[in-house]
A and B are shown apart, each in its own frame.
Chain A
Amino acid sequence: MALLEVDSVSKRYSSETLALDTVTFSVQPGEFVAIIGPSGAGKSTLLRCINRLIDITSGDIRFDGISVPQLRGGALRRHRTQIGMIFQHYNLVNRLSVIENVLHGRLGYKNTLQGILGLYSDQEKRDAVHILETLGLSEQMYKRCDQLSGGQKQRVGIARALVQKPKMLLCDEPIASLDPSSAKVIMDTLREINRTMGITVLVNLHQVDVALHYAERIIGVNRGRIIYDGPSHALSNAQIYQIYGSEAGELILDLKERYAA
């Protein structure tokens, strides 16, 4: 059974603009899927519809057999705990320590009082420490997040998502603000998580070459519509050109050729 089924989902922000236009696809457990497309194509909107940070206008999303658009209150919170999210700007509380930020991933499981006071069990703390060690952040554990480099902050973001024990990770441009070597570390980490922990990964990317290198499957989006959905090795230059429309120049095709060589 598919882990995620997106069924003719549309999202309309105003009467003029259609951010998502009858988008349909499904994701099997354990897949590593990259969503590519030009800026403003609706990639971020699509991810945020899956964990309901944004409400859809029409269609249906089923995650693990549960229909997402109707979820309210506690049921919606339980749905969100199943999905970890990683952001372009890391979205950490910069004034708090690394470990506190990681434990924020457990807040979805807390009642009101535990949440307000930030009461975490010993087991949760041990899990957080273990995840930080795996990600190579044991030195930084008690540092404030504003003292970290971009790559380290993104690893804290990943740790916060993992401590949720999610079934799926949504990654919104996870390497768009990073230098090439940190970007590689992050993408390698995501692939490692996908392979060893079996967590499904859905990642928005700007860089076509990175998407082709890491993902087994590519979903190409342009102006809210899916242009391509299939294995990354079958994606042709002409199709990449189509995904990026008139914005595509020689550069993207060159990258593809360089990667293929």
Chain B
Amino acid sequence: MQPEVFFRRRRLQSLLFLFILGALTYGSILITQFDVTQGLMAIPRAFSWAIDNFIPDERAWTRLPRILEKLQETVLMAVASSTVASVFGLILALLGANTTRPHPWFSLPARAIASVFRNIDVSVWALILLFSFGQSGFTGFFALFFVTLGFITRVMIETIDEVSTESVEALRATGAGYTAIISQSVIPSCLPQLISWVLYMIETNIRSATLVGILTGTGIGFLFDLYFKSFSYGSASLVVLLTVVVVLFIEMVSNYVRRVIL
């Protein structure tokens, strides 16, 4: 094939792709009767409305102590559920990993449990658990707990098989018992990754806790929902801003810890 022919064909392919994309966009606009110009015109108005309404007003600042108290409650809840779930996740991962499973039969159930817990979204867990625990802190705690358990189990199974297979073989060869192998070889090898993932889950869970709070009526999510629905947009935005600040702060701390341990 001549180079000219090759590049002409390439250009035709690109043009065809652009044409299909354009046709799809235009078709969707026609079917939904979406007015593009009006939509674009609305953007500046939307911004000015947001600026007028979402700047924390004086009433919002008087609510600061209440917001901070709920925020603290939410952060601590996220930390507690992440750490407790990580302990159980590590145990499940030790049962599931090829290197450390006590018997091949343990592997599939452990991976299956992790998969189910992980693949049901945290909001779905919150709504399901709402029936069992009602509108209490437990609902949010367990929703975050289950998702974290699934996630930590999954990543730790991979980490264990990746970083400790060889040293586990060596310790088995010395005659070391199962628990000694876990505590002297697997845990020291995997600890940095474990800590790193737990910190990641704490960050994620603080974000999720806000959503879970909206759904279950607890913590900072409840306050946001309350202010938002009572048209106190200024207070609602103060909640959002403070949450963002806390999440950024936690991220900074955990990035620092990661740099030190990894």
From residue A61, how far is it (CB to closest CB) to chain B in Å?
Answer: 15
Closest to B170 in A: A91
Residues of B within 8 A of A261 (CB): none
- Flag whether B254 is at the interface (Cβ < 8 A): no
Docked pose: A118 CA to B185 CA in angstroms: 11
Residues of B within 8 A of A80 (CB): 172-175
Closest to A81 in B: B175
- Flag whether B241 is at the interface (Cβ < 8 A): no
Closest to B180 in A: A115
Asked whether A91 and B175 contact (CB < 8 A) given A104-B184, A115-B180, the answer is no
Closest to A51 in B: B173
Asked whether A160 and B170 contact (CB < 8 A) given A93-B184, A104-B185, A107-B184, the answer is yes
- A91 adjacent to B180 (CB under 8 Å): no
Asked whether A92 and B167 contact (CB < 8 A) given A107-B180, A115-B180, A118-B184, the answer is yes
Q: A95-B188, A112-B180, A114-B180 are in contact. List 19 more A-B contacts (CB 8 A).
A: A53-B173, A76-B175, A78-B175, A80-B172, A80-B174, A83-B173, A85-B174, A87-B169, A95-B189, A104-B170, A104-B184, A107-B171, A107-B180, A108-B174, A112-B177, A115-B180, A115-B183, A116-B183, A118-B183
- A104 adjacent to B183 (CB under 8 Å): no
From residue B102, how far is it (CB to closest CB) to chain A in Å?
Answer: 13
- A107 adjacent to B174 (CB under 8 Å): yes
Residues of A within 8 A of B179 (CB): 112, 115-116
Q: Select which of A93, A105, A117 is within 8 A of B189 by beta carbon.
A: A93
Asked whether A81 and B180 contact (CB < 8 A) given A87-B169, A91-B169, the answer is no
Docked pose: A108 CA to B171 CA in angstroms: 8
Residues of A within 8 A of B173 (CB): 51, 53, 80, 83-85, 170
- Flag whether A77 is at the interface (Cβ < 8 A): yes
Task: Report how many residues on chain B are interfacial, defined by Cβ distance under 8 Å.
Answer: 22
Q: Select which of B170, B177, B183, B185 is within 8 A of A85 by beta carbon.
A: B170
Q: Select which of B166, B177, B191 is within 8 A of A89 by beta carbon.
A: B166
- Flag whether B56 is at the interface (Cβ < 8 A): no
From residue B93, how far is it (CB to closest CB) to chain A in Å?
Answer: 18
Docked pose: A116 CA to B192 CA in angstroms: 19
Closest to B166 in A: A91
- A108 adjacent to B188 (CB under 8 Å): no
From residue A50, how far is it (CB to closest CB) to chain B in Å?
Answer: 10
- B166 adjacent to A107 (CB under 8 Å): no
From residue A25, how far is it (CB to closest CB) to chain B in Å?
Answer: 21
Can you list 19 A-B contacts with CB-CB less than 8 angstroms, sorted by A residue number?
A51-B173, A53-B169, A53-B172, A77-B175, A81-B175, A87-B169, A93-B185, A96-B188, A104-B174, A104-B184, A108-B175, A110-B180, A112-B177, A112-B180, A115-B177, A115-B179, A115-B183, A117-B183, A157-B170
